[in-house]
């Protein structure tokens, strides 16, 4: 059976869907992004925007995707006002003391960053943090200059770039993948949490993340302490304010900010940065990370003959792996096209 790969429907208008659509459109495919929500209403718009692998499996593929995304975002950071991406120096801190054998560019074996050695080796200029660069409660850490993305601005840039490549965006709710398959020969499923019902895939579940945006008292670097408790503590300077986080509540579906949780987030961050204790609060945000035991990035044939390339389940690392996953989607679509022509 001949498989049409010239017309492609991409389901999902967040960062995973838009980057996949751009990769395909810029390769010459006619691409339509079909999304229930506008980009600003997706989980991607709530993301803190730090390029660093977080809550994603499998590690080996995730690191490869992350390194590729790092390269793309670093290039986009040359035009921050246009793309929303900037290169910002920061510290990834840990409560644990590194082993003597861990003084090189290897990931610490602390359970949080297990398996990320290749990422640490790939980040340019990454080094061990000096003691005076660490905050209270942290015993070790890494210093790096990484992409930090203003997600609302970045999503607007991605939509503009897609349109410039000839792609279109349609606001529409789909009830099944087969519905999309009847309209296009090839479907790319980037539906995130929606894949739970759309596929359906019961392995997809939310990991609720709550953030507090405060007026920035002058903090210019990002700071993350990821293993100091059940929830990560992070401070991310963005043009719209200082992002304080955060939480990671498995199977929590509420999108309503919890005042008690918000108070705890500010208190945790203020232990590292005392000047935040009285910072004016600008906004509260809650997002539902689309988690899965492992990312699903693979093709399958749908009833009716269309082919679907799944690209979902990125948990808390969608921004970090988006461009790497988009490259893999493009390679998969090319292989499908070549197979269909044989």
Supply the DSSP string of 3-28, one letter for each residue.
Answer: ---SEEEEE--SHHHHHHHHHHHTTT
Supply φ then ψ for residue 250, to 5 degrees.
Answer: -65, 135
Three-state SS letters, 155-187? HHHHHHHHHHCCCEEEECCCCCHHHHHHHCCEE
By C-alpha distance, which of 87, 88, 84, 112 is closest to 120?
Answer: 112
Residue 96: strand, helix, or coil: coil
99 vs 297: which has the higher pLDDT = 297
Query: Is residue 44 a known part of a binding site?
Result: yes
pLDDT at 308: 98
pLDDT at 109: 43
Decide which of 3.30.450.90, 2.60.40.10, 3.40.50.720, 3.10.20.30 is the CATH code for 7-341: 3.40.50.720
- For the cut 90, the answer to whether the pLDDT of residue 81 exceeds it is yes
What is the CB-side half-sphere exposure of residue 24 using CA atoms within 13 A? 33
pLDDT at 137: 81
Both tokens of residue 262?
A: 């918000």
Contact 189, 311 (CB under 8 A): yes
Interhelix angle 15-25/318-341, nearest 10 degrees: 40
Whole-model pTM: value is 0.93
CB contact set of 164 (below 8 Å; sequence gap of 6+) = none
Query: Is residue 128 a known part of a binding site?
Result: no
Both tokens of residue 235?
A: 């401070």
Query: Is residue 233 a known part of a binding site?
Result: no
Percent of the chain past pLDDT 90, that is, above it, reads 81
Query: Is residue 192 a known part of a binding site?
Result: no
Query: Is residue 165 a known part of a binding site?
Result: no
What is the CB-side half-sphere exposure of residue 103 using CA atoms within 13 A? 3
Calpha distance 242→299 (Å, rounded)? 40
Averaged pLDDT, 71-95: 96
pLDDT at 98: 63
Query: Is residue 234 a known part of a binding site?
Result: yes
Query: Is residue 320 a known part of a binding site?
Result: yes
Q: Quote the Cα angle for 67-291-268, to 5°.
A: 85
Query: Which run of H or of E encompasses 309?
Result: strand 307-312
CB contact set of 150 (below 8 Å; sequence gap of 6+) = 49, 84, 85, 86, 238, 239, 240
Both tokens of residue 289?
A: 């990370």
Q: Where are the domains of the chain?
A: 7-341
Query: Is residue 316 a known part of a binding site?
Result: yes
H helices present in 238-286, as ranges: 259-272
Contact 163, 283 (CB under 8 A): no
Give the pLDDT confidence of 5-61 residue by residue, as tens digits: 679 999 999 999 999 999 999 999 999 999 999 999 999 999 999 999 987 888 889
- For the cut 50, the answer to whether the pLDDT of residue 101 exceeds it is no
Looking at every residue in the chain, the average pLDDT score rounds to: 91
By C-alpha distance, which of 251, 241, 281 is closest to 265?
Answer: 281
């Amino acid at each position: 059976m001949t498989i049409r790969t010239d017309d492609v429907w991409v389901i999902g208008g967040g960062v995973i869907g838009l980057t996949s659509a751009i990769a395909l459109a810029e390769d010459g495919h006619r691409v339509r992004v079909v999304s229930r929500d506008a980009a600003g209403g997706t989980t991607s718009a709530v993301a803190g925007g730090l390029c660093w692998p977080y809550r994603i499996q499998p590690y080996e593929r995730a690191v490869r995707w992350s390194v590729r995304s790092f390269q793309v975002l670093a290039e986009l950071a040359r035009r921050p006002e246009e793309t929303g991406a900037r290169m910002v120096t920061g510290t990834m801190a840990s409560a644990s003391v590194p082993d003597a054998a861990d003084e090189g560019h290897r990931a610490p074996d602390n359970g949080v960053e297990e398996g990320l050695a290749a990422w640490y080796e790939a980040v340019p200029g990454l080094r061990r943090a000096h003691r005076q660069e660490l905050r209270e409660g942290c015993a070790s850490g890494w210093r790096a200059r990484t992409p930090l993305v203003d997600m609302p601005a970045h999503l607007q840039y991605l939509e503009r770039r897609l349109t410039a490549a000839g792609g279109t965006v349609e606001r529409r709710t789909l009830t099944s993948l087969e519905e999309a398959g009847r309209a296009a020969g090839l479907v790319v499923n980037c539906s995130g949490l929606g894949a739970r019902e759309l596929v359906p895939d019961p392995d997809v579940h939310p990991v609720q993340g709550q953030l507090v945006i405060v007026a920035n008292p002058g903090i210019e670097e990002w700071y993350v302490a990821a293993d100091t408790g059940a929830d990560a503590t992070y401070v991310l300077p963005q043009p719209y304010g200082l992002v304080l986080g955060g939480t990671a509540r498995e199977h929590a579906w509420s999108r309503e900010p919890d005042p008690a949780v918000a108070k705890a987030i500010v208190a945790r961050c203020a232990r590292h940065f005392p000047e935040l204790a009285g910072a004016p609060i600008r906004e509260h945000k809650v997002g539902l990370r689309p988690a899965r035991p492992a990312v699903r990035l693979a093709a399958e044939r749908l009833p009716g003959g269309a082919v679907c390339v799944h690209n979902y389940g990125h948990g808390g690392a969608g921004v970090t792996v988006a461009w790497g996953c988009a490259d893999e989607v493009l390679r998969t679509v090319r292989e499908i096209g070549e197979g269909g022509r044989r």
